[in-house]
Amino acid sequence: MARYKLLIKPSAVKEIEAIPYKKDRRRLVDRIKGLANDPRPPGGEKLSGQDRYRVRQGNYRIVCSVADQARIIRIVKVGHRKDVYR
C-alpha cells in the first residue's frame, strides 16, 4: 500500500505543542506518523455528520480527513478527549 502525505494544520501543531507531558506528545506524533501507512487504523471511527475520522491515542484524540484519490491525510484537530469535539 502506498504511503499517504500528511498535512497538519498550524492550529493542530499548536495544540500538540500545548500538551503538558512530553511522553504524551511523543505518542501522538508517532501515532500521526503511523497514519501515513494506515489512514484508517483499528479503533478509528468516522465522525457522524462530518467527513472526518477520529483516532484515539490514550486520553487524546486526533481528528483528520482522508482524501484517498490524492493520498492526503489532513490533521484538523488534536486535543484531550473532553475538549476535542467542541
Question: Domain containing 61 — which CATH number?
Answer: 3.30.2310.20
Count of domains forming the chain: 1
pLDDT in tens, the chain (86 residues): 679 999 999 999 999 999 999 999 999 999 999 999 999 999 899 999 899 999 999 999 999 999 999 999 999 999 999 999 88
CA-CA-CA-CA torsion sign (26, 22, 44, 52): negative
DSSP code, position 85: T
Within-domain flag for 85:
no
Within-domain flag for 48:
yes
Within-domain flag for 62:
yes
**pLDDT at 37 (0 to 100):** 94
pTM of the model: 0.93
Within-domain flag for 40:
yes
Supply the range of the domain harboring residue 69: 5-80
**pLDDT at 24 (0 to 100):** 96
Within-domain flag for 86:
no
- Burial string for 12-31 (b: 16+ CB within 10 Å, else e) reads beebbeebeeeebbeebeeb
